Structure 1
């Protein structure tokens, strides 16, 4: 039953991730342009250059803000990662004295030799 729940959660997360691929790409591109505009703004010595890179940075910032729903895609990717890790987790078995086959064998052998 636990695997079924993980399957359902993983399926929903995969659908959300697929629906958010476009905004995620847009967010990455707009953030890259914003970073480039910031670097050029700090390098520029002229007032005209600073104004130009400031305008480019504001346009890139507004494009980044419009792609904020892409954060849902990032969250969905993380949920898929967690589901994958839980799905492939190996069950740890605790070996107790009563479940160890060699201990039981030794006890039975000792009883046979009496």
Structure 2
């Protein structure tokens, strides 16, 4: 029953992620361009260059803000990751056996007992 619930939640998250794939790409591209425009704005020394880069920055800020629903898609990707992690089971017990620090502590305790 638990796997069935994970399957349902994972399916819904996958559908949401696929439907928001375009806005996610748009958000990433527009945020990158906005960052580049900001860097050029900071570098410019002439007033008219600052005005041009400022106008370009406002345009890119508007484009970036129009893609904010992509955050829902990013959240769906995170939910899909959590479902995948739960589906395969807890890996923390496996990593504790192979953890060199845990093995060192165990060996150190054995040496101190002798």
TM-score w.r.t. structure 1 length?
Answer: 0.78
Gapped regions of structure 2 (runs ≥ 5): 94-114
Stretches of 4+ moved more than 6 A in 1?
none
Is the radius of gyration larger for structure 1 or structure 2? 1
Alignment map for 1:8-87 (pairs within 5 Å):
8-87=8-87
Go from structure 1 to structure 2 and tell me whether the alpha carbon gap of 1:5 and 1:37 turns closer, same or farther (over 3 Å shift): same
Distance 2:78 2:90 in 1: 20
Distance 2:90 2:63 in 1: 44
Paired positions, count: 92
Q: Which residue of 1 aligns with 2:102?
A: none
Distance 1:7 1:55 in 2: 47
Deviations 1:2-43 (CA, angstroms, capped at 9, x unpaired)? 000000000000000000000001101110111001000000
Q: Which residue of 2 aligns with 1:3?
A: 3
Gapped regions of structure 1 (runs ≥ 5): 93-114
